[in-house]
Structure formats: structure tokens, C-alpha cells
Amino acid sequence: MTVRASVDGIDVVVPEGTLIIRAAETLGTFIPRFCDHPLLDPVAACRMCLVEIEGMPKPQASCAVTLTEGMKVRTQMTSQVAEQAQAGVMEFLLINHPLDCPVCDKGGECPLQNQAMTAGRPDSRFGGPKREFPKPLAISTEILLDRERCVSCARCTRFSEQVAGDPFIDLLERGSDQQVGIAHDEPFNSYFSGNTIQICPVGALTSTSYRFRSRPFDLVSVKTTCEHCASGCALRTDYRRDFVMRRLAWEDPAVNEDWNCDKGRFAFTYMRHGRLSAPLVRGSDGVLHEVSWSEAIAFAAKGLSALSPSVAALLGGRLTNEDAYSFAKFTRLVLQSDNIDFRNRPSSGEEADFLAHHVAGTGLVVTYEDLENAPIVLLVSLEPEEESPIIFLRLRKAYRKSGLKVAVIGPLLTRGLRKLGAQLLSTVAGGEAATIDSLLAGDLRGSQSVLTALKKKGAVILVGERAASSAGAYSASIDLANETGAKLAWVPRRAGERGALDAGALAGLLPGGRLMADAAARADVARVWGVEPSDLAVRRGKPQEKILREISEGKIDALITAGLQISDAPDVDTFKQALSEAKFIVSFEQRLSDVSSYAHVILPVASVIEKGGSFTDWEGRVRHFNRALNDSPAVSDSTVLGMLAKEMGAPNTGWRIDEVQYEMAKLLGEGPTGTKKEFKRAGAPTIEAADVKAPPSGSAVLSTWHQLLDLGVMQGPEEHLAGTRRPSQVIISPGRAKQLGVATGDLVTVSTVNGVVTLPVEIDEIHEDSVWLPMNSPGSQVLVTLKAREGATVKVAKA
């Protein structure tokens, strides 16, 4: 349905329900506005967008009136009335505005500043005292509020309520006292709070970390991709000289729309602090010494050549596609080994099979748009707000707009899931497969509507990487998808995992999901790499956990690691033992890490702003980004691998970023040179659902996942951001609380034979047999302290 109307005497035909302000935009007419935002509900709070509508006695706010058939609208371009109305509103807005542009962070990119120039008076007629507030007011450790500058447009409060679902800020008081504020003792600790700074049309909201740091004209903006999670946000990275000053969300309607999360926005200083500038080689004295690149490469090449093919590569899931691809190629071609794994986290053989069968090299199967239009989204082992925040935002948008049904197979309805109006199919960790089976069999109480919705066209199942800790969950998800016809997508947490999988950084898999064992696929890859199929490694490699065990057993001698943290590994002790027993370790690092103390050679590599490349988000969408700091001497992992390859007598070409991208396009079927061929795919995993036994008295089944803001290394030295973390707490059920005799806030211990975590308790409707802990938060490092993964049985007691 369309309507025909006229704006400034020009006929427009727009879909029914189009706001006047949007219709004017299609003509290229910009009506000044502050409160209007295309992704927020109209509110007409600022009154700046007044236009004249024929037949209406007074000017109307064009951001809140939809165009109707035959309506004649005249904007400030043709109407004296509209122009005067806007000038009047601007004068009112400026009465209480402090005009402290020289000290305001928004100065130079401020809609109020700009529109005061176009619609304002050259001088003020107001002589009285202006409204004054103490400033700045810290509404969280990261966000500062300057109430004098506020024009009460309510963009921030509407964003928090509508988009993020965190109504922690609101307009308080009335009249000239009206101000944005928080509840007493309840700071604005939303994961999406940074977006309010970006959409604030004045300088009322600023961030602690960017405060007074620079001006818009100092900054060079580069479109980049966020390296923090697999959501794939487009970011605007603003740098001045050699330093990144800030990051903003870059508008990308297909992925992150106008938003991003606070981790992506504020956690970037890790790229600056403690960076290695020169390669380090462990001398005969056992100490790391700075050496030249040529010396380090020669040393590393000698060590690797001597031990090849008894070598393994562990990548850690944080690499760009290009770097992961180069590692995959280097391992197969130069090291003659297939021992490569990108999963430095609890993983499983079932997961590897699932990925090879269902995910690797499949391209875009489920997109954000599919989530928005789905009749139902079923989440398995996935907590979207914590693990993939942009999925959360898109689900919430669909939930608000069209009542999207979200169902989740997990232990509890978290705050994030409640904001999605999700239905819980309650299970303990490890019982996911059994729950799916009974959902399919139709004997799960209250799940009939879920099953019916899953059978509708466009239904989506999202399975998170934590399913690896639940035997049979991946297999059952495939069954469920096959039975219902729903689309199934895998959502990893780290930005580099999907890309590394597609690039073939997993044992048995070549780029694009090609099977090592498939002769035709091998030949195809060898042709692109310019070698004979027989030049590629033949013996099928091992996953990370087996690799580590084989190092301890002396079956694998050398190790290449890239961006790895021991503390992320599912079994920290085995990892440490393997590292101490490996004969030779080459570590690719940006900064010293917990692997460094074991490494024989440390090769410093570029961070994401110092190299071009791409990440693949959970959808399978390749997110290219350009190099931001062009003057940086840092080199990418691919380049270093090229140097190593040359030193080890392998082909010297195909390691430069453009060559890598050319090869990847050929193998993965992207871009103009891409010719995607279909090869034999791996079979689906068929792991039976595990028998879930009730834990013994005094014990519970551990559920755990990473909180968005936690002790992650890349959130490093950003203390303002750390201040907005959610508190670390244990979640137990009311029944268990009664049994233990604890009330909210009391200390509770969760223990295994390896260690104890003591945290305040939160009582929530969690599965009776479950206990929840944050995975890597202050006071609760599950993998390090308890040495337990999700689904383990732990003791819960009153502290």
C-alpha cells in the first residue's frame, strides 16, 4: 500500500505509514531534528522538526506524523511558518544550553551545533541566568552525564528501554528541572550504554575514556570489523597519529544496524599496552632475548624443520580469516602436518564432526534478517546477550516489533532472555540432547507450540559453542533441524572461529569444508596452492585436546601457537604440562601471554588495526576491514608465515595479504574470482543423548558461560569499562537456597576436588539440579580454579 502526497510541492509516493521526516529525506530535504531516530519509536520530544501541513492550524512535528493520501506538507525549504517555528524552537533549546562548545567532546560533530548554525539566531536574546547542574555526573564508570547540555530529546532513554531493554536511565522531574538520571545506587551498567553517547545529539553523554582526548577533525576514521565476538559489527575506528582514540558503531543495516556493544566500543587499549616490538628467542641460558627478525626466523625455521611433521598448530580462535588460512596452509604444506585446531576452549569430537558436516564453507545460511523474520528462534546452549550481543539486539527488535517467539534450551531464564520474552525448556547442562529428543517426540511439557512454530517456514535454531560440552547436543540439533525443516546455525563466541573453520584450520578439513580424505578436494586445493596433491600432509591430524596429550606422550614434538591463552583451555594442567614438555614452541603474539614463558621463539605480530583482513561472523558473512595504522611496522601472521616458509624452502608466494585473499576467494567462492565447487561433505555426527542423572545431594550440575564483560585479555587495561561489569554471583534455585539456608547475597561455595569458588548467591528460577557461575569473572575462573567444564558435577555449600 502506498500513499501519494506532496512535500514542498513535489509529489512523493511512499509506503503507507511513512513518517513525513522520512519522506522528506527521500527527496533530499533534511528537516532538522534531535529526538528522531529511525530505529527508535517516535516521541516528538524536541519539537525541532516542525513543518506546515495544509489544513492543520499549527505546525506539526514531522517525526511523529505519517504521510496520508493527498497531504500537502511544506518544510522550512518553502514555508515561512515552518522556518519560523524551527527557529523559535532552536531559540528555546539554546536558552538553557551552556554553549560550552570549546570544552565539549561533541564540539565539531554536534547536531545541535550544526543546526544552531542553520536554524538559529546569530546572537542570543536571552539575558537571564541559565539552568545549572553540577557536572559531570558519572552515571556509570564509563558514561558521564552533563545535564546542562541536555535538550531532553529522550534518545538515550528510549534506546535503553526499547533497544537494549535496560531502562536504567530515565527522564526525571518536570519543567525546567527535567533531567536524565539513574535510580539511586543503580548505575547505568548496560552492555549497550555506549550507544547512547553516539546517538546523543548534544554533548550531554560522554565517555570517561574519550573525555577531552581529541576533536573530530584530529581523527582519521577507518571502517573496521570488531574483533571481540562473532557478531561481526562494523566499527568506525578513529585514530589520531599512531593511537586509536575511540571506536564507534558503523551503520550496517544487514548486521549491527546502528549499534554495537560496550566491549566493541571501549575495549581497544589492549592493542597499545605492552606490545612486543622485536622477536624474542630463548637463549641457551633459558632467558628470552630480543633478536632481529632474520635471526628469529632462521632459528624458528631450523627448529620446526628438524621436528616436522611432528608439529601441531593451535590458533585460539582470535585470528583474522587470512591469518587462519595461512596457518592452515603452512601446517599442511610446509610442516606436512594436519595437527591444527582453532578451538582453545571446551570442545569435542562431535563438534568437529558437526562443523565439518554442517558449517564449514557453507556461506550465508541464516542471516540477521532471517532472525528478524523468523516465526521462532530456538536457542541451544547460547545466551545471546552475553555471548553474541548483536544477535540479542536483533532478537529483541523482532520481539518488540513482531512478537518473535524465542525459546531456549538451558537451565534458566536469564535477564537477557527475559528481555526477549523467551520460553524456557528447562534442562541441566548436559541434558540438551535429551530435551531436544523429547521435544521432537512431543512429550516435553508445554513445548507443543515450540515444535509447531519450528515447523513453520523460516524457523531458526541457533546452537552455541557451549554445546560441545553437552554430549549429543549437536547431533540432536541436526536431527531437530532435519525433522522440522528449521534452519540451523552455529554461533561461536570468538570472532575468528567461523573464519578459521572455513579456512580449514581444523584437523581433517581443508579450506571451504573440503575433506582432506577426498582426493578431488585435495587436488583442487593443491592446484590453487601451486603444488602437487601429494605435497600436502596425508595423515589425519588431531584436535587440540589430543594434541596436548600426544605432546606429553612424546608423539608430537613441536608446537606453533597464535594468540593463545592457557587460561582459556578446557584443561589447564594438561596444557601447561604439554607446553613444558614440547621440544620446540613458536608463539605468535601481540603481547607477552601465559604461553610466553614456555615459548622458544616469540614472533610479534600486528593487531587488527595494523593489518587489513577480514573476519567471518556467525552468519558466514565475510567482514572485510582495512588497515587503519598505515605507518605501523607490525607485520601480520601471514607475512611472518611467509618468511618462515621461505626459510624452510617452501613456495615463497601466496603469503602476502592480496595473494592470500586471491587464493581464499578461489577456494571459498567469494568475489569475482570465486568459483565455488561442491565437494563431498563430512557425515553428520550421531552421538546419542547422554543419560542425565540427578546429582547427589549437596551437589549440582554446573552451568557456566562467559559474561560479556569479564576478565578477557582483550578487555585488558580498560578499567572504566570493567566498572560496568555485572557482579559475579552464584545462581541457585529457591529450593536449593532453602535447603542450604541462604538468602540473596549470602556467600556460597561451589567446589570440585581442584578448587573452590566463593561468591554471593542470587536466587532465581534455575533448574533445580543446576548451579550457575560466571566462567571468567572476578572471583570465578571456572576453568582455572574448579578445572571443570559445563555439565560437571560440583558441590554447593553455604560458606
Partner 1 sequence: MPQPLPGFITTFVAMFRKVNTEQYPEQAAKYPPKPRFHGRHQLNRYADGLEKCIGCELCAWACPADAIYVEGAPNTEEERYSPGERYGRVYQINYLRCIFCGLCIEACPTRALTMTTEFELADDSRTNLIYEKKDLLAPLTGEMVPPPHPMVMGLTDADYYAGLVTGPDER
Where does this chain bind partner 1 (CB under 8 A)?
A: 102-103, 107-108, 135-136, 211-215, 217-218
Q: What is the rounded CA–CA span in Å between residue 622 and residue 131?
A: 50
Of 30 and 133, which has the nearer Cβ to partner 1?
Answer: 133
> What is the number of helices (H) and of strands (E) in the chain?
24, 37
Minimum separation from the CB atom of position 130 to partner 1 (A): 10
Of 215 and 457, which has the nearer Cβ to partner 1?
Answer: 215
DSSP 469-513: GSTTHHHHHHHHHHHH--EEEEE-SSTTHHHHHHTT-BTTEEGGG
Are the C-beta atoms of 33 and 63 separated by less than 8 Å?
A: yes
* Selection from 211, 208, 158, 207 nearest residue 180 by Cα: 158
Of 216 and 717, which has the nearer Cβ to partner 1?
Answer: 216
Minimum separation from the CB atom of position 277 to partner 1 (A): 23
Strand, helix or coil for residue 74: strand
What are the distances in angstroms from CA 586 to CA 17, 276, 279, 713, 763?
Answer: 61, 15, 11, 20, 47
Of 102 and 672, which has the nearer Cβ to partner 1?
Answer: 102
Minimum separation from the CB atom of position 144 to partner 1 (A): 10
DSSP, res 123: S
Of 135 and 455, which has the nearer Cβ to partner 1?
Answer: 135
| Residues forming beta bridges with residue 770, ordered by sequence position | 701
Strand, helix or coil for residue 22: helix
Q: Residue 581 belongs to what H/E stretch? A: helix 572-581
Alpha-carbon torsion (582, 585, 591, 597), positive or negative: positive
Of 55 and 217, which has the nearer Cβ to partner 1?
Answer: 217
Q: What is the rounded CA–CA span in Å between residue 187 and residue 183?
A: 7
For residue 384 the three cell numbers come to: 545471546
Minimum separation from the CB atom of position 97 to partner 1 (A): 15
Q: What is the rounded CA–CA span in Å between residue 156 and residue 533?
A: 58
DSSP, res 600: S
Q: What is the dihedral of CA 409, 415, 421, 427, to 10 degrees?
A: 20
Minimum separation from the CB atom of position 129 to partner 1 (A): 10
DSSP, res 388: -
For residue 323 the three cell numbers come to: 591469518
Minimum separation from the CB atom of position 241 to partner 1 (A): 9
Of 136 and 464, which has the nearer Cβ to partner 1?
Answer: 136
Q: What is the dihedral of CA 37, 221, 273, 505, to 10 degrees?
A: 90
For residue 216 the three cell numbers come to: 573530530
Minimum separation from the CB atom of position 716 to partner 1 (A): 22
Q: Count CB-CB contacts under 10 A for residue 738.
A: 12
Minimum separation from the CB atom of position 113 to partner 1 (A): 13
Minimum separation from the CB atom of position 104 to partner 1 (A): 9
Minimum separation from the CB atom of position 24 to partner 1 (A): 31
Of 212 and 658, which has the nearer Cβ to partner 1?
Answer: 212
For residue 44 the three cell numbers come to: 516528538
Minimum separation from the CB atom of position 724 to partner 1 (A): 19
Q: What is the rounded CA–CA span in Å between residue 342 and residue 373?
A: 32
For residue 360 the three cell numbers come to: 564449514
DSSP 326-354: HHHHHHHHTS----EE---SS--HHHHHH
Minimum separation from the CB atom of position 452 to partner 1 (A): 58
Q: What is the rounded CA–CA span in Å between residue 628 and residue 633?
A: 12
Distance, first Cα to last Cα, the chain: 64
Of 104 and 775, which has the nearer Cβ to partner 1?
Answer: 104
Of 122 and 212, which has the nearer Cβ to partner 1?
Answer: 212
Of 117 and 217, which has the nearer Cβ to partner 1?
Answer: 217
For residue 449 the three cell numbers come to: 507450540
Minimum separation from the CB atom of position 100 to partner 1 (A): 8
Of 218 and 765, which has the nearer Cβ to partner 1?
Answer: 218
Minimum separation from the CB atom of position 216 to partner 1 (A): 10
Minimum separation from the CB atom of position 438 to partner 1 (A): 59
Range list of β-strands (E), 103-233: 137-138, 143-145, 169-172, 179-182, 205-207, 220-225
Q: Which residues in 178-206 are b (16+ Cβ under 10 Å) and which e?
A: bbbbbeeeebbbbbbbbbbbbbbbbbbbb
Q: Which residue has the cell 581529541?
A: 214
Alpha helices (H) along 683-728: 719-722
Of 108 and 533, which has the nearer Cβ to partner 1?
Answer: 108
Q: What is the rounded CA–CA span in Å between residue 318 and residue 562?
A: 8
Of 215 and 289, which has the nearer Cβ to partner 1?
Answer: 215
Of 98 and 421, which has the nearer Cβ to partner 1?
Answer: 98
* Selection from 736, 651, 8 nearest residue 326 by Cα: 651
Minimum separation from the CB atom of position 422 to partner 1 (A): 42
Of 4 and 211, which has the nearer Cβ to partner 1?
Answer: 211
Minimum separation from the CB atom of position 101 to partner 1 (A): 8
- Bridge pairing between strands 770-774 and 793-798: unpaired
Strand, helix or coil for residue 119: helix
Of 134 and 672, which has the nearer Cβ to partner 1?
Answer: 134
Minimum separation from the CB atom of position 132 to partner 1 (A): 9
Range list of β-strands (E), 633-677: none
Of 213 and 621, which has the nearer Cβ to partner 1?
Answer: 213
Q: What is the rounded CA–CA span in Å between residue 171 and residue 164?
A: 17
Helix, strand and coil content of the chain, in percent to the nearest 5, comes to 30, 20, 45
